[in-house]
A and B are shown apart, each in its own frame.
Chain A
Amino acid sequence: MLLTLILLPAVAGAAAFIIPRDRARRALLIAAALAHLGLTVAAGIWPPAPVSGWLALDGLGYLFLCITSGLFLCAAVYAAGYLSREEPHPRQDFFEGGQWFHNAPEAVFTGNLLLFLSCMTLVMLAHHFGLLWVAVETTTLATAPLIYFHRHHRSLEATWKYLVVCSVGIALALLGTYILAAAAARASADGVRVPVTLEALVENAKRLDPAWTRAAFLFLLVGYGTKMGLAPIHTWLPDAHSEAPSVVSALLSGALLNGAFVGILRAAQVCSAAGQGEMCHDLLLAFGLVSLGMAAVFVVGQTDFKRLLAYSSVEHMGILALGVGIGGTAAAQGVVLHGLNHSVAKGLLFMVAGNILGVYRTKNVGEVRGVLSRLPISGALWVLGILAITGTPPFGAFMSELAILKAALDAGRWGVALGYLAALAVIFVAMISTAAKMAQGSATGADPAGAAAEPAGAPPANLGPHAAARGSPATSRGQHGPGAAARVREPLSAYLPAAALAALALLLGLWLPAPVKSALDGAAVALGGIK
């Protein structure tokens, strides 16, 4: 069962590389995503047997596996539509003076998407620290070609940074894994051989060498923290998220970062069992606060809306780290709920950002006005998504951010709570005001800034990568007076996955269905054990 979960997307991915027909490949992508989600749900109902202590499905892994699988299905539907609208021929870049570029082969893109799902599944299931490392590093390799889908200078730079920064970071995590094995080797003095699996390490935690366990946690935290996007080692994140195709950004932010977070949590589980929990908490608190602060600094005045979302990811990873750092059951419940909320809302936002980018052909927030009138559905989803991600009630993120705040106050950590609130408030104001300016204003020239930007924007919309804009060329051409941008007909695949995620984000704030609740509780139990 567990092996099937891992191998199914891998086999589909390998097949995607050799299937010559585009339509068949896209159908395969969606079918594999559906099958994976079905298997994941089935694994929740009938718990599968662990494989030799290396692969097992615990509460923590199950929750994040569900998030990954669900988000991947939405992304697959979005990607199928996106790929069918992408221009296959070389075209002119709309930044950087219009250099010519072309796309990577679509088979490579689809194949790597599926391989990414396979490695992410392995990350969630791996209980052997070496295997966990292999899986996390493989996700880096599978996603690098995805970021370099549009083959131009900027995406190449982002890919290179991503490869080097993440590989070096992850290499430190490998060192951490070996150090953990060295710490476990002390148990051989007592005549016990401890393999580097989660269960064995937790069971024999008292036999681990304390100093080397601490060193191991430090290296694992810095290593996986690089990949998770914790400041100040997040430098790859804004570049990769802003240059990758939007559907890839959605997966990076909503799934990949969680995978690295799971790696850190596994290390924290061992460390706290070995009686080093206090150090884990302090380090995670520090990284969390720094991430929140860094995100607040860069969100204010951000001129690129995809980078805005990327820094928001740094913020939310900071909140997750902070929540684990506070410790205790209440905080654990807040963290797992927040992990789910963030993935849902951020997946939604990146997909909508892709729709906006496709029509406006700019990432500059100053040049995007009147999204609500030009792209009514995407505009509404954009507003909903921003409200959800900033933790406005009644969305789920409000509940989870409140739970973490309450846990901080109950634990008597007034300073932490104050810093947390301040960062959240700054980011809230900055994101809402930026997003509101983009959504409102209008295509009819009511907003002077919008009017100034529109004339340049209107004609290219016809030639945009989204064929949607081409669907109504007559109306577009007919009206482009000063600032008059026509309403664009949006294809179903561009907004349906995002709308589904928006509904889920709202639902999570109002009422938790029983299966979701039990998955969250299962994960919270594992997390709450970190003392």
Chain B
Amino acid sequence: MAAWVDAILVFAVLTNLAVLGSSRLGLCIRMVAAQGIMIGLLPVVGHWHAVDARAVGLATASVLLKGFLVPWLLHWALVEANVRREVEPYIGYPMSVLIGVASLCLCLWLSARMPLPVAAGEAGTGASALAAPVAFFSILCGLLMIVSRRKALTQVLGYLVMENGIFTFGVALALEEPFLVEFGVLLDVVGAVFVMGVAVFHISREIHSIDTDQLSMLREERR
């Protein structure tokens, strides 16, 4: 199943680049949802010959939460906020994609120099040599989205992309975390997105916009 794992990882890379380059908020939400579903399948696909209840439970939970609940919530916030559904970046789309490609190269180069403690690609572990670079690439993309986009909602998406990267790192390297902890992590992430979604809703009601530019009252006043 190593080919399938690699296919999912490549899919993650492509969705990251697509999110960086697209201007429609609704499309970005769907893209991140698709990425969440594919990444959520990793625990099952990666351990195809030794699928256990833990992997199936984790995969089901993350597909349901990240693929359906979270995008539904974000769509709700988007509709309620009733704002222009454009991303409005500080950094232009082509430039964002270029930075994305550059950071992908950086991640590949770095992980070639830093050998994984788990023997990557070894039969049975389900770990792919691509896993670490793709994970770090997702984290960088998420950070880029958080700092370079004006809308509060895109910052939530950036957080999700980043978390997908961390999830990839954990699962694709076949790290054995107890189910309870994995599930707790998943719930926390969904909880964070929920609270952020509610905050976006309040921001849109309070200042009739979800541009984070408008949130700049608090800063140091010098005497």
Decide yes or no whether A470 CB sits under 8 A from chain B: no
For A127-163 the 0/1 string (1 means CB < 8 A from B) is 0101101100110110011001001111011111101
B218 touches A141 (CB 8 A): no
Find the A residue at minimum CB distance from B184: A134
Tally inter-chain residue pairs, CB-CB below 8 A.
125
Closest-by-CB residue of B relative to A364 is B221
B181 CB contact (under 8 Å) in A128, A152, A157 = A128
CB distance from A8 to the nearest CB of B (A): 20
Would you list which residues of chain B between 148 and 164 have a CB under 8 Å from chain A? 152, 155, 159, 162-163
A298 within 8 A of B: yes
Identify the closest chain B residue to A181 (Cβ): B175
CA distance in complex: A183, B163 (Å): 20
Q: Is the CB of A158 within 8 A of B218?
A: yes
Cβ of B69 < 8 Å from any Cβ of A? Answer: no
Interface: B212 (CB within 8 A): yes
- The residue among A133, A171, A186, A243 with the most chain B CB atoms within 10 A of its own CB is A171
Q: How far is the CB of B115 from chain A (nearest CB, A)?
A: 9
Does B203 count as interface, using CB distance less than 8 angstroms?
Answer: yes
Interface pair B199/A160, CB less than 8 Å apart? yes
Contact in complex: B191, A141 (CB < 8 Å) = yes
Which of the four size classes fits the interface of chain B?
A: 35 or more
- Chain B residue, CB-CB nearest to A164: B155
From B116, B185, B199, contact of A133 by CB (8 A): B185
**Residues of chain B lying within 8 A (CB to CB) of residue A380:** none
The reply to whether B192 and A140 form a contact with Cβ atoms under 8 Å apart is yes
Q: Does A175 contact B (CB under 8 A)?
A: yes
In the bound complex, how far is the Cα of B196 from the Cα of A359, in angstroms?
33
Residue in A134, A196, A298 with the greatest tally of chain B CB atoms within 10 Å = A134
Contact partner of A141 (CB less than 8 A), chosen from B177, B181, B188, B212, is B188
A156 touches B146 (CB 8 A): no
Q: Is the CB of B203 within 8 A of A131?
A: no
- Kindly list chain A residues whose C-beta atoms are within 8 Å of the C-beta of B163: 171, 174
Docked-complex contact B169 and A178, CB < 8 angstroms: yes
Residues of A within 8 Å of B, CB-based: how many?
53
Does A211 sit at the interface, judged by CB under 8 A? yes
Beta-carbon contacts under 8 Å, A193-239 to B: 193, 195-196, 209, 211-212, 238-239
A193-B175 Cα distance, complex, nearest whole Å: 11
Interface of A is mostly: helix
B206 contact set on A, CB distance < 8 A = 151-153, 156
Contacts of B83 in A (CB 8 A): none
Contact B196 A163, beta carbon cutoff 8 Å? yes
State whether B143 touches A182 (Cβ < 8 A): no
| Other-chain residue from A130, A145, A151 in contact with B185 (beta carbon distance below 8 A) | A130
Cβ contact within 8 Å between A141 and B195: yes
User: In the complex, how many angstroms separate the beta carbon of B72 from the nearest chain A beta carbon?
Assistant: 19
User: Is there an interface contact between B159 and A168, defined as CB atoms closer than 8 Å?
Assistant: yes
B217 in contact with A154 (CB, 8 Å): yes
User: Residues of A contacting B166 with CB < 8 Å?
Assistant: 171, 174-175, 178
A212 to B143, CA, bound (A): 22
Which residues in A have their C-beta under 8 angstroms from that of B25?
none
Tell me the complex Cα distance, A309–B218, Å.
Answer: 16
Residue of B116, B152, B159, B170 ringed by the most chain A CB atoms within 10 A: B170
Cross-chain contact B152 with A160 (CB below 8 angstroms): yes
Q: Which residue of A lies closest to B159 (CB)?
A: A167
With the chains together, A134 CA to B203 CA distance in Å?
A: 27
Q: How far is the CA of A347 from the CA of B84 in the complex (A)?
A: 44
Whether A193 contacts B184 in the complex (CB less than 8 A), given A156-B203, A160-B203, A167-B159, comes out as: no
A304 at interface by CB-CB < 8 Å: yes
- Do the beta carbons of A193 and B176 come within 8 Å of each other? yes
Distance (whole angstroms) from the CB of A58 to the closest CB of chain B: 20
List residues of B (174-191) whose CB comes within 8 Å of A's CBs.
Answer: 175-178, 180-182, 184-185, 187-188, 191
**A301 close to B217 (CB less than 8 A):** no
Bound-state CA distance A173–B223 (Å) is: 37
Whether the Cβ atoms of A156 and B117 lie closer than 8 Å is: no
User: Are B215 and A164 interface neighbours, CB within 8 A?
Assistant: no
Contact of B170 among A156, A178, A243 (CB under 8 A): A178
Binary contact readout A166-191 vs B (1 if CB under 8 angstroms, 0 otherwise): 01100100110011011101101000
CB-based nearest B residue for A99: B206
Known contacts: A151-B202, A153-B217, A160-B215. The answer to whether A134 contacts B169 by CB under 8 A is no
Q: Are A242 and B218 in touch, CB under 8 angstroms?
A: yes
Which one of B117, B175, B180, B196 contacts A209 once the chains associate, using CB atoms below 8 Å? B117
Residue of A nearest to B194 (CB): A141
* Among B118, B155, B218, contact of A157 (Cβ-Cβ < 8 Å): B218
What string of 1s and 0s marks CB contacts (under 8 Å) between A59-79 and chain B? 000000000000000000000
Additional A-B contact list (9), CB under 8 Å, known A164-B146, A178-B170: A130-B177, A140-B192, A160-B212, A161-B218, A182-B116, A182-B118, A193-B176, A195-B176, A239-B218
3 shortest A-B CB distances, which residue pairs? A130-B181, A134-B184, A186-B117
Give residues in A with beta carbon < 8 Å to B.
96, 128, 130-131, 133-134, 137-138, 140-141, 144-145, 148, 151-154, 156-161, 163-164, 167-168, 171, 174-175, 178-179, 181-183, 185-186, 188, 193, 195-196, 209, 211-212, 238-239, 242-243, 298, 301, 303-304, 307
Enumerate chain B interface residues (CB-CB to A < 8 A): 114, 116-118, 139, 143, 146, 152, 155, 159, 162-163, 166, 169-170, 173, 175-178, 180-182, 184-185, 187-188, 191-192, 195-196, 199, 202-203, 206-207, 212, 215-218, 220-223
